[in-house]
Amino acid sequence: MVEEVTKMICITCPVGCSLEVTHEGKTIIKVDGHQCKQGLDYAQAELVDPRRMVPTTVKVRGGVHPLVPVCTAAPIPKPLIFDLLAVLRKVELQAPIHVGQVVLGDALGTGVDVLASRNLAAI
């Protein structure tokens, strides 16, 4: 298999180290530029199964605001982000809403719930 170098920014902490990952397919040969072991873990995850938290908003009926912020309870596979956003665009909640309330359970079969990020009172 051909050896490749992939550049990525570690987003695990605010330092944002620039990583150069030398790999053959999904097998890492070496990582340069990291300042801690979490950078190695991040590089491995990015190559094998990149995941992200997904914050967005969802429509609300009868609330003091028309939208409520929501977020996945854990990172989901990156290729599913736009599918999840399309599903959440169709969701409409009834106020009141409580922080931590499940907005969408087992999102797209990932086993990850989408939760309300704040309280939102009814009118």
Q: Give contact residues for ligand SF4 (rule: CB under 6 A).
A: 10, 12-13, 15-17, 34-36, 38-39, 42
C-alpha span between 21 and 34 (Å, rounded) = 10
Which residue number, 12 or 110, has a Cβ lying nearer to ligand SF4? 12
Which residue number, 31 or 116, has a Cβ lying nearer to ligand SF4? 31
DSSP state, 108?
Answer: G
* Nearest distance in Å: CB 20, ligand SF4: 12
Which residue number, 50 or 62, has a Cβ lying nearer to ligand SF4? 50
* Nearest distance in Å: CB 9, ligand SF4: 8
* Nearest distance in Å: CB 33, ligand SF4: 8
* Nearest distance in Å: CB 75, ligand SF4: 15
C-alpha span between 35 and 57 (Å, rounded) = 35
Whether residue 120 contacts residue 96, with contact meaning beta carbons closer than 8 Å, is answered with yes
Structure tokens at 63: 């609330």
Whether residue 67 contacts residue 97, with contact meaning beta carbons closer than 8 Å, is answered with no
Residue nearest to ligand SF4 according to CB distances in the complex: 39
Which residue number, 36 or 122, has a Cβ lying nearer to ligand SF4? 36
Spacing of C-alpha 12 from chain mean position: 12
Whether residue 98 contacts residue 38, with contact meaning beta carbons closer than 8 Å, is answered with no
